[in-house]
Amino acid sequence: MTYSTAWVALTLAAALGSGFTAVAAGPQAPAANPLTPGFNQVIDFQKATKADIAQATTGIIGSTKSALNAIYKVPTGKRTFTNTMLALDDLGDNIGRVAGPISILYNASPDSAIRNQAQKSLAIISKYGNELELDEQLYKAVKDYSKTKEAQALTGPRKKFLRETIEDYERNGFALTPEKRKELQAINDRIGDLSLEFGGNIAKDQGFLLVNEADMKGLPEDYKKSRPRAGDAYRIGLDGPAYSTFMRYAESDLQRKQLYTLYNNRAADKNLDVLKKLLIERQKKAQLLGFKTYAAYQTSSRMAKNPETVWAFETKLVDRVKQKSQQDLEELLTVKRAYTKDPGAKTINPWETSFYSNLLMKDKYQLDGEKIKEYFEANKVIDGLFQTTQSLFGLKFNEVKDPKVWHPDARMFEVQRDGKLIGRFYIDLFPRDNKYTHAACFGVSSGKATPKGYQLPQAVLLCNFNPPTAGKPALMSHGQVVTFFHEFGHVMHNLLTTAELSSQSGTSVKRDFVEAPSQILENWAWNYDALKTFAKHYQTGEVLPKPLYDKMWAARNVGSGLGASQQILYGTLDMTLHDKFDPNGTETTTDVMKRLQNQLTPFAYVEGTNMQASFGHLTGYGAGYYGYMWSKVYAEDMFSVFEKNGVMDKKTGLRYRDMILARGGTDEEYNLVKEFLGREPNQEAFFKSLGL
């Protein structure tokens, strides 16, 4: 992905938290604005006001207009990489460096006035980006430069940047007449607004279930203590930890069903309509650009190249996973029959899966999730994750005391390599009202070579792990530990970049590869050599016992078929809505959801639910969710090299750092992987990782 679409898409992806992001750097705004500090200075999130956000927004648009004029004015025949392409990269980087911090405030500030202004500003920046994408003078400048001798002699990353910039421009509307381009810009503006609205509605949903004492049977004591009360009733919110714990332990089938229905209707009152409008606008955009569907448009610039490749990939997955998910279902049915004393039980309902999976883990695999959590105290997990990545990649992390952050929960770290500061990252790990509700890495500024030196990349990790409770520290489930490692993989991809251009730095890779560097890191959360350095009982300090770990490992692929079929469902839902669905027709997105759930998973669709209304990936990852499974193929293949050489082998870690993470989008992703592997990539390790 290159500047012409990259920073716009990525800035919005940051705003919407699609799971990763690499946006870039800031305007020449007055130094007094805490959001736009001097070169490589720290952003003062704490001081930022509503007025600062508005001023940074108008400031960056003003300074971009001046920068644009300078590019326009270069006489024909005098164009160089520096005055045209580098100027273009700078321009996108500057916009991203303002949008990055604003997106953090939109997603994580406790102040509603700041969040509302941030949302408005992101919409303004997005619209301005849409204008730039269709700026004819800019396109002509790049085309003029491409005809020069210098341009034709380019090699490596610079050549790739020029080629992809032109491809992106032409793919995004320069084959159209000026009138049609105006129409496209209006569509892009509506898509930006609808995407922000969709994400905002999910974040604002404050749904909850009230249950009585009897309905709390089976739930851990500290969970009960930490629930807000409404008279005698307990209030169960819809944030990740509250929801998943209730679904796993509550004995009341009726209340689990009610909570499942509520959870799968988050923002449905508003977002079903928003989603329909979004799909209509995306379809219009694709057809205006000469693509049959939005999926055809999106995949044309990805590793997959076209929807047919994605459909073939999904179909192959369905076939490979079917048998394993059937075995997984039988295991759960055995547990249900014993528990309900109903030997004839033939179905598992979606609100029963967590509950019976937990009993299965306890009874057959002797694994108790609550006992396992006792070995994963959040601070110890942070230390372990940091030790692992510092050792593998030759780094040092230093926590900054009294950081200038948006909330007291947020912490800030500086990253050094060979004694030199190379980047900064922030972590904000626990749920709170109006905060982004999943776990994601947000890029705040990109790495980039500048005349003042290398611009420091910065990233923020927003998560929603189990918070501390009265008398107990924050304890993480092993699943949350895996998620933490995953998201930190994105942080490393952002921070270890050495790319010259912001447009190719960090996670500025093709969207169906961007998850690979995060997925590979999950493997260390499963490795005993790594785990024993930090998995210690929060009271006794006892290291996670090897027999307990062996049981966890033996159970690693319990339910992997069901898990994979769920991922296939999400990927297929996303592709269907963008490739085989008419948003103007009589079929609704709920009809699609129902049909696919019944077809692809062993769990029947629950009438009255609308999971797609809170499927946040439909904005940032439209027609791209398949990338999670697609990139996992490359992640597992690359991990096989670590398995062979030793998972903590520093030499392999540094090779991976320098060949994959540092290079970002400077070369074709397939080439990078092939070079690291020393052979053609294949799917063997991926299927092995699923237990197939």
CA 206 to chain centroid:
22
- 396-399 vs 229-230, strand pairing mode: unpaired
Q: Which residue has the tokens 């108008």?
A: 58
The pLDDT of residue 6 is above 60: no
Please list, in sequence order, all residues whose beta carbon lies within 8 angstroms of the beta carbon of residue 520, skipping any fewer than 6 positions away: 489, 635, 636, 638, 639, 656
Give the pairing type, strands 420-428 and 458-462: parallel
Dihedral sign of CA atoms 243, 488, 623, 188 in order:
positive
340: its two tokens: 């309900």
Q: What is the pLDDT of residue 25?
A: 36
Q: What tokens does 31 get?
A: 């130094």
**Mean pLDDT for the chain overall:** 93
Question: Which pair of structure tokens corresponds to residue 295?
Answer: 């999926």
- Residue 236 main-chain phi, psi, to 5 deg: -105, 110
Confidence of residue 19 (pLDDT cuts 50, 70, 90): very low
**Mean pLDDT across the stretch 444-448?**
98
Band of residue 3 on the pLDDT scale cut at 50, 70, 90: very low
**Average pLDDT value for residue range 654-666:** 98
CATH fold for domain 378-558+628-689: Neurolysin; domain 3 (1.10.1370)
Rounded-to-integer distance, Cα 201 and Cα 613, Å: 9
Give the pTM: 0.88
- Segment 117-141 shows an average pLDDT of 95
Range of lowest pLDDT (165-179, 593-607, 675-689) = 165-179
Q: Residue 398 pLDDT more than 50?
A: yes
**Cα–Cα nearest to 628, from 304, 291, 204:** 304
pLDDT at 31: 55
Q: 402-427 pLDDT, tens per residue? A: 999 999 999 999 999 999 999 999 99
Neighbouring-strand partners of residue 255: none
Contact (Cβ atoms closer than 8 angstroms) between residue 325 and residue 562: yes
The candidate with the shortest Cα–Cα distance to 33, out of 80, 81, 97, is 97
What is the DSSP secondary-structure string of 34-66? TTS-STTPPP-TTT--HHHHHHHHHHHHHHHHH
Residues catalogued as catalytic: 487
3-175 under CATH 1.10.1370.40, yes or no? yes
- Within the chain, all domains assigned CATH 1.10.1370.40 are found at 3-175, 378-558+628-689
Q: Is 223 exposed, middle or buried (0-12, 13-18, 19+ CB in 10 A)?
A: buried
Query: What confidence tens digit (pLDDT) does each residue in 327-386 have?
Result: 999 999 999 999 999 999 999 999 999 999 999 999 999 999 999 999 999 999 999 999
